[in-house]
Amino acid sequence: LTADTPMSRYWSAVVHGLTPYVPGEQPKLDNLVKLNTNEHPYGPSPRALEAIRAATGEALRLYPDPNAEALKAALARRHGLQPQQIFVGNGSDEVLAHAFMALLKHERPLWFPDITYSFYPVYCGLYGVAHRAVPLAEDFSIRTGDYLPQGDTRAGAIIFPNPNAPTGRALALAEVERIIAANPEAVVLVDEAYVDFGGESAIALVDKYPNLLVVHTFSKSRSLAGLRVGFAAGHTGLIEALERVKNSFNSYPLDRLAIAGAVASVEDEEHFRESCRKVVSARETLVAQLGGLGFEVLPSAANFIFARHPARDGAELAAELRKRAIIVRHFKAPRIDQFLRITVGTDAQCAILVDALEEILRD
Ligand code: PMP
């Protein structure tokens, strides 16, 4: 790779520039209070666990259903759509990757917020998608007006999380709809990884706008990050494009255990609602407690909060917490390097966090 060949040029231009996922975010230590990757603290539906156990039999000898029909049918029923309007993948990261390959590359750049999910620019590099980062407002909200075409300046495609990550701020559905309606020629991908903790889902608009794709994950509100399941809902034309790319890549997106567990999770609406409600209630308590310690906390509609202390350095606070075996996320990025992103854990984990911060701030 040192000679000047097309391969070595690709290596230095693209691959060398990639940053591997920070291994430090998944440390293998006992007794950690792990509040850094937005996992759900209460665990999946017992019915999902039972379905996964039941699927671990001799049938594992056989390939899974390449169309994951049972899951598409369950999701279609849950969201009032047709199964052909659903695409499933190995975690929403894989669904997003397929969307970047199949739908988001145009002559005009892909637009997304300048503070957002860190994988978007990574996928742009990997798949050669030109992009434009649109600054957030002063209060870290997405400004709808910035995504409307102005004369000849318009997006080739648009992607944003709602609620946004890592800020947690949500955009009202009417504002999301303004963006979709004003850009009929651009695919608008709304990444709703955190929507079940207080946002308004754009899945309700899928039948109305053929340019809308909504992506969900089972990793957060369904507490199944370890199973790796995500899906997209959209017009059949968009879904077909995703299926074509997928079939050229890996015809079996989900294994038998993932399909079984995901179907049972979707069918256990009561567990889903109750476990999300518990996280939202713990979030409100945590926001009030951190406010009491002098933190400024952005309004959150997610299962994490984004907070800064006016008198303390963000990196130092994260390091002090880490010394006490509490890990939260800190980003060394402009505008947000004073913030901590803290996953809402169990009541006990939140109490340990608040006590530790109180102690650190006293020093
Ligand atoms: N989108 C956003 C905004 C996220 O924060 C995450 C999780 N880090 C994902 C997508 C991917 O989640 P998963 O691959 O676990 O479904």
Q: Mind listing the pLDDT tens digit for each residue in 278-328?
A: 999 999 999 999 999 999 999 999 999 999 999 999 999 999 999 999 999
Please give the single-letter amino acid code of residue 218: F
Mutation to probe ligand 1, out of 35, 93, 220 (largest number of atoms < 8 A from CB): 93
Contact by Cβ (8 Å): 88, 72: yes
Same domain (yes/no): 87, 229: yes
- Report the pLDDT value the prediction gives residue 8, as an integer from 0 to 100: 73
Q: Tokens representing 22? A: 């920070």
Q: At what angle do helices 46-55 and 256-267 cross, to 10 degrees?
A: 150
Last residue of a domain, one of 267, 294, 326: 267
Contact by Cβ (8 Å): 248, 229: no
Could you tell me if residue 1 is inside a domain? no
Question: How many other C-beta atoms are found inside a 10 Å radius of the C-beta of residue 31?
Answer: 6
What gap in Å lies between CA 198 and CA 196, rounded to an integer? 6
Could you tell me if residue 20 is inside a domain? yes
- Report the pLDDT value the prediction gives residue 13, as an integer from 0 to 100: 66
Question: Would you say the CB of residue 219 lies under 6 angstroms from ligand 1?
Answer: yes
- Report the pLDDT value the prediction gives residue 172, as an integer from 0 to 100: 98
Question: How high is the ipTM of this complex?
Answer: 0.99
Same domain (yes/no): 139, 222: yes
Contact by Cβ (8 Å): 278, 348: no
Domain count, the chain: 2
Same domain (yes/no): 283, 350: yes
Question: Would you say the CB of residue 177 lies under 6 angstroms from ligand 1?
Answer: no
Could you tell me if residue 107 is inside a domain? yes
Residue 21 has pLDDT above 60, yes or no: no
Same domain (yes/no): 308, 229: no
Last residue of a domain, one of 215, 238, 267: 267
Same domain (yes/no): 236, 296: no
Specify the 3-state DSSP secondary structure of 212.
strand
Same domain (yes/no): 262, 164: yes
- Report the pLDDT value the prediction gives residue 68, as an integer from 0 to 100: 97
Same domain (yes/no): 130, 144: yes
The average confidence (pLDDT) of the chain is 94
Q: How far is the CA of 191 from the centre of ligand 1 (A)?
A: 8
Question: Would you say the CB of residue 92 lies under 6 angstroms from ligand 1?
Answer: yes
What gap in Å lies between CA 87 and CA 72, rounded to an integer? 7
Residue 23 has pLDDT above 90, yes or no: no
Specify the range with the lowest mean pLDDT, choosing from 173-177, 246-250, 287-291.
Answer: 246-250
pTM for this prediction: 0.94
Same domain (yes/no): 71, 214: yes
What gap in Å lies between CA 355 and CA 289, rounded to an integer? 10
Same domain (yes/no): 159, 198: yes
Same domain (yes/no): 135, 254: yes
Q: What average pLDDT does this structure show over 216-232?
A: 98
Sheet with 86-89, side-by-side order of all strands: 86-89, 230-234, 212-217, 187-191, 157-161, 110-113, 131-134
Could you tell me if residue 322 is inside a domain? yes
Residue 238 belongs to what domain range? 46-267
22: pLDDT confidence band, cut at 50, 70 and 90? Answer: low
Residue 45 has pLDDT above 90, yes or no: yes
